[in-house]
A and B are shown apart, each in its own frame.
Chain A
Amino acid sequence: MSRTQLGMPGLRPGSGNLFAEEKFPSAARRELGNTQLRKNLKHATSTIRGKRLNVTGELPDWEELRDAGSALKTAVMARLPELLESFEANVTARGGVVHWARDADEANRIIHDLVKAEGVDEVVKVKSMATQEIGMNEYLEEHGIAAFETDLAELIVQLGHDKPSHILVPAIHKNRTEVRDIFLKEMPGVDPELTDEPRKLAMAARSHLRAKFLSAKVAISGANFGIADSGALAVVESEGNGRMCLTLPETLITVMGIEKILPTFSDLEVFLQLLPRSSTGERMNPTRRCGPASPKAMDPRSSTSSCWTTDAPTPSPTRWGARPCTASAAAPASTSARSMNAPAATPMVPPTPARSAPSSRRS
């Protein structure tokens, strides 16, 4: 009798974290009894949803943008091999090294070899779902290498010996009092008088991380986008930790799934309007499309200034200045991992127009 295979093919993509130790329904049954957790999640998700609805409502062409994004991704899938090869060629032409990994185990081995070659036992990390999926931190730890998360929420999760609960808001299950308690217990040199005021918590994390940024020789990042026609990588972040990781260390290893490819730099125009608003209800800034950004549209606190985001009216600083979303386009970069001896990834947002070569500042 023949059997019909339903669902995903049975190939196990390495070990990694793709297969949970516990089935979701049984974990869910247990955690649904955790009233504090449910309260935290309810509060956080409804806040984020509200924020998202607010900022997506500002764009009259929001639905068209989503359709455009979907069409771009479909087109990418239709010519993925060609785009990946062009990406590799452009990364290589700009001095990067591309490694291809078939599964989690192979990716982890490559990354470990690259870190080992630099002779370090510590790396700093930008928030990355790819490295989470392949279980990279655990792999490196088994091999004597400590990977320090620098995204605030990932830091909370890591210090709390916990697991991220959400791809965009990894610590969404913790309220700020719980965060304070984790910091007090696990953060070396933390002020014992630390309160649960968000600003105080952020400042504590900031001073904890600053030392890591300044001493790390190797950084590991994910990638939101890899641009085939230039070999550029883009990381979207809102805390500044990403830029620190991409600029300060001598070696940058970027772990990127093959589906992150976009054909050209101008395709980012669509996704950089969609991503910040849709993910955490934040605006990309400054907000102007085409033409030079007006001085009013520049965020004085951000070194990234360009003109490639939205049709929304120029917002006032108070509306968008608090947590600017920035995109760092690092070039050169790689599909799986890259290692260079010289300061490699020069993160930059291209000046206007968005099409400019992302590698112009590379040394």
Chain B
Amino acid sequence: MPALKERAVAVGRKTYELSELLVDVLGVTNPAEQLGSYFPHTVTYHPSCHGMRLLKLGDRQAGLLRGVKGLELVDLPEADQCCGFGGTFSVKNADVSSAMLADKTANIRSTGASVCAGGDYSCLMHIGGGLSRQGDGVATLHLAEILASTEQEPARVQGPAGQTVKVVVK
């Protein structure tokens, strides 16, 4: 299978996670200037297990967030802890998953941020589901949505259940 391996390696070589593409390939170091990113909110950031441990993204995602105009990034306590989703884990071990999520959402609330950002939509779906049911009005947003938010076209921040939450851009 050496030929197949070669092809796999070739595809792998040009496959990037979004923040890798932006930072490493496209050289985005200042999203405010280079992309016009604007998001005037207090944001905390969940790094996600596979971004952190598998892809080893390091500071790429948080660095991009810090470069967004108007955005205040606050540290998430125990950020490296899993949110409890883990794909089918959340179905097979729903109670443990929910307990882990409770720790995660408590940490998010403790930051006082109005938005929890991340680079992994599965985690954000899980966390957003928890936050909306706790009625805290903390929204979840993908990194891409925040980077795409500009002064001309600001992101509409909505709760996971579709309800508009308190951080809607004024």
A, B assembled together: yes
Chain A residues in the interface with B (C-beta under 8 A): 24-25, 28-29, 32, 38, 46, 63
CB contacts (< 8 Å) of A32 on chain B: these are: 95-96, 99
Q: Closest chain A residue to B95 by CB distance? A: A29
CB contacts (< 8 Å) of B99 on chain A: these are: 32, 38
Q: Which of A25, A29, A38, A46 contacts B92 (CB 8 A)?
A: A25
Chain B residues in the interface with A (C-beta under 8 A): 56, 78, 92-96, 99
CA distance A41 to B91 in the complex (A): 23
Q: Closest chain B residue to A38 by CB distance? A: B99
A–B Cβ pairs within 8 angstroms, 16 of them: A24-B93, A25-B92, A25-B93, A25-B94, A25-B95, A25-B96, A28-B93, A28-B95, A28-B96, A29-B95, A32-B95, A32-B96, A32-B99, A38-B99, A46-B78, A63-B56
CA distance A1 to B63 in the complex (A): 54
CB contacts (< 8 Å) of A25 on chain B: these are: 92-96
CB contacts (< 8 Å) of A63 on chain B: these are: 56
Nearest Cβ on chain B to A351's Cβ, whole angstroms = 38
CB contacts (< 8 Å) of A28 on chain B: these are: 93, 95-96
Nearest Cβ on chain A to B20's Cβ, whole angstroms = 17
CA distance A25 to B92 in the complex (A): 7
CA distance A31 to B29 in the complex (A): 47
- Given pairs A25-B96, A38-B99, 14 additional interface contacts (CB within 8 A): A24-B93, A25-B92, A25-B93, A25-B94, A25-B95, A28-B93, A28-B95, A28-B96, A29-B95, A32-B95, A32-B96, A32-B99, A46-B78, A63-B56
CA distance A46 to B80 in the complex (A): 11
* Top 3 A-B residue pairs of the complex, sorted by shortest distance between their CB atoms: A29-B95, A28-B96, A28-B95
Q: Closest chain A residue to B98 by CB distance? A: A32
Q: Closest chain B residue to A45 by CB distance? A: B81
Nearest Cβ on chain A to B99's Cβ, whole angstroms = 5
Nearest Cβ on chain B to A299's Cβ, whole angstroms = 32
CA distance A25 to B95 in the complex (A): 7
CA distance A29 to B94 in the complex (A): 9
CA distance A291 to B152 in the complex (A): 65
CB contacts (< 8 Å) of B92 on chain A: these are: 25
CA distance A38 to B99 in the complex (A): 10
